[in-house]
Structure 1
């Protein structure tokens, strides 16, 4: 492939070696106007190269940014992306499988927030995929934080799409042009509300009931905090969501039903993750920490307190720094937590 001489060359096998490298590169390329040449794309994955959700993210970025692209094909392990001007409008993006559409949103949201104008977006595919944040995480945890930073963005779920059938749909409205403001979040405050939701489709309700009963036994939550929710979906599926609203923000953890995995095992898995978060005193969980890097970098500053950082987050820090003149400073904080601060480089 022929890449522009000024293209940023990125080795997709570095660090975590997954799709976040691609999504961050696409978003920041559109914002900065800098082309990139990505090689060894998703090299650390069982199925390397572009899967459907990654290809949809590439084509979504190409659409909103009038970009020129080479290598946009299923299985491709090399991509050259030359951005054009970001254009607002009405867009529809379909993965064509159960691949995560919440991750496609997280590709195009940044350039659309950066450029003046309003866009109405429609996403079809997997809304509840074990390898990505479920829609409720986006709507209840992530977007409220962006609105605190001054972003104008809303999202609504029309239809749940479980893995492997997909068929889900949600819409979003993004109005850009206002600069993001720094966010400083170090204390979560007292618990305001707790909720366990067992979402299921085309499966017996007893599965959801067993999950909730296990949550109640493990956490001691009240029956009023437990909900079994039957939804319509193209195929069978089940997700157990544990959300906690604090005075200064919310967190949500999820686990998904699988064949040969009992309802009690699903519950134990997500309860363990929530327990680690509650025991850490950190307001920001490991998945949210990764997703806060781009908005804080675009704001030019900000900080938060989180758990020990994942390789996913550390890799994302490296990619953000390749496009934007910022640096991430990670230091020890009280109670075994880590403080992440963004500052100009």
Structure 2
């Protein structure tokens, strides 16, 4: 007997609603129809990176798709069998490679054999987690859950030029429960200022601001000059390594924003998280939820409920037999628990 098509309203969130639905549809075999895709964004509907995620997901699982075109605000997706392979996907803009990758990974972990995926586009996009966040923060936790995934950054790609590329190797693996309610002891702190096609003065000013506001020593600060052909581009990365988790905060250079103001964006996010006492900050919370649900259980603490987290919970509970409980433990501490229902 054919399962009922899951109906989703994309107006409850942004592109993450669609990406989570694609991931969950592939691994559960359940079809879905989504309307009002990204309805509250300045440019509603499918942008290039969303369309790439849809077509990549369709290729990985042999799906039947209707509505897959630029600016589409409605989409139907009926998955087939997940297959392994050597996949190559090109976004064609500076749209995020990392978001396309995260859409595919849950299915590729359940593929019958190992896979290699190459994605070209934006590796450092201000509206998505940079590749460094995945490699240093998210993937180590996924591996702790049992996921066998290796990520290599082949070329940087900034907005607006794009042209970046990542390569990922995935071995079939089963995810197990992760409980992450505290950070453990502090291990190290590090800051990188990446620039492509800009004067070294930009990176130096950014690192000076890190030293001034956070009192980090010179050995914790590093300038990274990327191939000028990949620019112009600039990103400031702050890494906090703890015993149980590593967090990475980022901020991107803009023509109208002073170098010091760029740094302040990342620092303010980091300070908010450090003061909260929570294990993970808001972006990592968003991206841990789906693997935990697929593992059938897990817990983490995060500073607060966000729109992304709320909409992700709503989508996950439509596809999987899990319940996600949220308990406020203080003014800036929220405990999330995934339970098999």
Question: TM class by shorter-chain length?
Answer: over 0.9
Q: CA RMSD in A?
A: 1.1
Say if 2:157 is the partner of 1:200.
no
For residue 116 of structure 1, report the CA deviation from its aligned partner.
2.9
Cα offset, 1:190, TM superposition: 1.9
**1:86-123 deviation per Cα after TM superposition (whole angstroms, max 9, x unaligned):** 00010001100000010000100001112331000101
What whole-Å deviation, never above 9, does each CA across 1:175-221 have from its counterpart, x for those lacking one?
Answer: 11x32110001111221111000000001110000000011000000
Matched, 1:218 2:216: no
2:230 alignment partner, SS class: coil
Q: Output aligned runs, 1:307-326, within 5 Å.
A: 307-326=303-322
Partners of 2:279 and 2:301 within 8 A in 1: yes
Q: Which residue number corresponds to residue 297 of structure 1?
A: 293
SS of residue matched to 2:95: coil
- Cross-structure match for 1:11: 9
Answer yes or no: is the 8 Å Cα contact 2:3–2:30 preserved in 1: no
Q: Offset at 1:5?
A: 7.8
Q: How many residues align?
A: 339
1:314-337, Cα deviation, whole Å (9 max, x unpaired): 100000011001010011225731
Aligned to 2:109: 113
Question: Does 1:76 find its partner at 2:76?
Answer: no
Secondary structure, counterpart of 1:117 in structure 2? coil
SS of the aligned residue for 1:328 comes to strand
CA distance in 2, matches of 1:335, 1:71: 43
Gap runs ≥5 in structure 1 = none
Corresponding residue of 1:33: 29
Which segments of 5 or more consecutive residues in structure 2 lack a partner in the other structure? none
| Structure-2 residue corresponding to 1:344 | 340
Q: How far has the Cα of 1:235 moved from its partner? A: 2.6
Instruction: Find the aligned partners of 1:116 and 1:130 in 2 and give their Cα distance.
Output: 35
The 8 Å contact of residues 281 and 335 in structure 1, kept in 2 or not, is answered as: no
4+ aligned runs moved over 4 Å, structure 1: none
Structure 2 Cα separation of the partners of residues 342 and 143 of structure 1: 19
Tell me whether 1:248 sits opposite 2:268 in the alignment: no
The aligned residue for residue 179 of structure 2 is: 184
Q: Distance in 1 between matches of 2:265 and 2:28?
A: 40
1:33 and 1:83 in contact (8 A); partners too: yes
CA displacement 1:16-41 (0-9 Å, x = unmatched):
x2000100011110111111111111
Map of 2:134 onto structure 1: 138
Q: 2:146 aligns with which of 150, 156, 177?
A: 150
Distance in 2, Cα, partners of 1:133 & 1:52: 17
TM-score w.r.t. length of structure 1: 0.96
Structure 1 residues 76-95: aligned runs within 5 Å = 76-95=72-91
**Which residue, out of 18, 21, 30, partners 1:22?**
18
Partner of 1:175 in structure 2?
A: 171
- Could you tell me whether the CA contact under 8 Å between 1:116 and 1:175 is conserved in 2? no
Measured in 2, the distance between the counterparts of 1:5 and 1:50 equals 26
